[in-house]
Amino acid sequence: MNCDKINILCCNFVVLVIKRYRFITNRNKYMAGKAKFGSKIGLIAATVGSAVGLGNVWRFPSVAQENGGAAFLIIYIACVFILGIPVMLSEFALGRGGNSDAVGVYKRLTPAKKWYFNGILGVLASYIILSFYMVVAGWTLEYFWQSISGGLFDTSTTFVNKMHQLIGTSWSPIIWTVIMILLNMIVLLLGVNKGIEKLSNLLMPLLFVLLIIFCVVSLNLPNAIEGLEFFLKPDFANVSGATFINALGQAFFSLSLGMGILITYAAYYPHDTKLTRTAVTVSLLDFLVAFLMGLIIFPAVKSFGLDTDPEALKGTTLVFVTLPEVFSQMPVSQLWSALFFLLLSVAAITSTISLAEVNVSLMQDRFKFSRVKSSLIVILPLFVLSSICSLSQGPLSDITIMGNTIFDFLDLVATNLMLPISAFFCCIYVGWVLPKNFLERELTNHGEFGSVAYPFVLFCVRYIAPILILFILLSPFLD
> Higher model confidence: residue 311 or residue 30?
311
Q: Of the candidates 416, 468, 30, which has an alpha carbon nearest to the alpha carbon of residue 259?
A: 416
Instruction: Provide the pLDDT for residue 401.
Output: 95
CA separation for the pair 295, 300 (Å, rounded): 9
CA separation for the pair 123, 117 (Å, rounded): 10
Task: State mean pLDDT over 328-342.
Answer: 94
CA distances to 41, 66, 252 from 200, in Å: 9, 32, 22
- Does position 23 have pLDDT exceeding 60, yes or no? no
- Does position 20 have pLDDT exceeding 50, yes or no? no
Instruction: Provide the pLDDT for residue 15.
Output: 47
> Higher model confidence: residue 169 or residue 15?
169
- Tens digit of pLDDT for each residue in 254-293? 999 999 999 999 999 999 999 999 999 999 999 999 999 9
Q: Of the candidates 307, 249, 261, which has an alpha carbon nearest to the alpha carbon of residue 80?
A: 249
Judge contact between 73 and 284, C-beta under 8 A.
Answer: no
User: pLDDT band at 33, cuts 50/70/90?
Assistant: low
CA separation for the pair 20, 22 (Å, rounded): 5
Instruction: Provide the pLDDT for residue 164.
Output: 85
- Does position 3 have pLDDT exceeding 60, yes or no? no
Instruction: Provide the pLDDT for residue 154.
Output: 85
Strands (E), 196-351: none
Q: What are phi and psi of 170, to 5 degrees?
A: -80, -60
CA dihedral 31, 33, 34, 37 (to 10 degrees): 100
Instruction: Report the percent of the chain where pLDDT is more than 90.
Output: 75
Return the axis-axis angle of helices 241-254 and 419-428, rounded to nearest 10°: 80
Q: Of the candidates 280, 291, 350, 293, which has an alpha carbon nearest to the alpha carbon of residue 84?
A: 280
Judge contact between 356 and 170, C-beta under 8 A.
Answer: no
- Does position 30 have pLDDT exceeding 50, yes or no? no
Architecture of domain 42-478: Up-down Bundle (1.20)
CA separation for the pair 145, 150 (Å, rounded): 8
- Does position 2 have pLDDT exceeding 70, yes or no? no
Strands (E), 347-452: 400-401, 404-405
Q: How many helices (H) and strands (E) does the chain have?
A: 25, 2
pTM: 0.91
Q: In 3-state terms, what secondary structure has residue 400?
A: strand
- Does position 31 have pLDDT exceeding 50, yes or no? no
- Tens digit of pLDDT for each residue in 116-137? 999 999 999 999 999 999 999 9
Angle made by CA atoms 411, 417, 419, in degrees to the nearest 5: 85
Q: What count of other Cβ atoms lies within 10 Å of the Cβ of residue 455?
A: 10
Q: Of the candidates 321, 327, 316, 315, which has an alpha carbon nearest to the alpha carbon of residue 147?
A: 327
Q: Of the candidates 477, 459, 443, 390, which has an alpha carbon nearest to the alpha carbon of residue 174?
A: 390
What does the mean pLDDT of the chain come to?
A: 90
- Does position 479 have pLDDT exceeding 80, yes or no? no
Find the range with the poorest average confidence among 9-23, 102-116, 313-327.
Answer: 9-23
> Higher model confidence: residue 478 or residue 219?
219
Task: State mean pLDDT over 423-450.
Answer: 95
Instruction: Provide the pLDDT for residue 9.
Output: 55
Task: State mean pLDDT over 180-189.
Answer: 97
Task: State mean pLDDT over 32-42.
Answer: 85
CA separation for the pair 290, 438 (Å, rounded): 33
CA separation for the pair 165, 354 (Å, rounded): 30
Find the range with the poorest average confidence among 2-6, 464-468, 472-476.
Answer: 2-6
- Tens digit of pLDDT for each residue in 227-244? 999 888 888 888 888 899
- Does position 26 have pLDDT exceeding 50, yes or no? no
Residue count of the chain, please give it: 479
User: pLDDT band at 317, cuts 50/70/90?
Assistant: confident
User: pLDDT band at 107, cuts 50/70/90?
Assistant: very high
**Per-domain boundaries in the chain:** 42-478
Q: In 3-state terms, what secondary structure has residue 36?
A: coil
